[in-house]
Amino acid sequence: MAGYVTHMSEVQPSSDGENSVLTRTTIDSTVGAERLVQKIVTIPPGKSRHGHNDGRDEIAYVVSGSGSLRLEGETHALRPDLGVYIRAQEQYEIV
């Protein structure tokens, strides 16, 4: 299978129903990516997202806005153009 290109506007978001956090899964096994999942997560101001990564490492990239990442008890400032690596099984929260 060839590579795959998509835009977030082409994917319907799902909501967590609790904090109005929207998630768009843009690349996964449905398009032939057996070992990779790409999600775009939109967290409204004042809301939070608790993370669990189902046994996979995660990479996050902050596109806009600011907040904090609580990773294994340590707090890190989030800002645009910042990358984050989260190992499998680590507990985190984005606020």
pLDDT at 76: 96
pLDDT tens, position by position, 25-44: 888 888 888 888 888 888 88
Q: How far is 8 from 25, CA to CA, in rounded Å?
A: 8
41 phi, psi to nearest 5 deg: -115, 125
pLDDT tens, position by position, 36-89: 888 888 888 888 888 766 777 888 889 999 999 999 889 999 999 999 988 888
Buried b (16+ CB within 10 A) or exposed e, 46-77: eebbebeeeeeebebebeeeebebbbeeeeee
Q: How far is 27 from 40, CA to CA, in rounded Å?
A: 10
* pTM for this prediction: 0.75
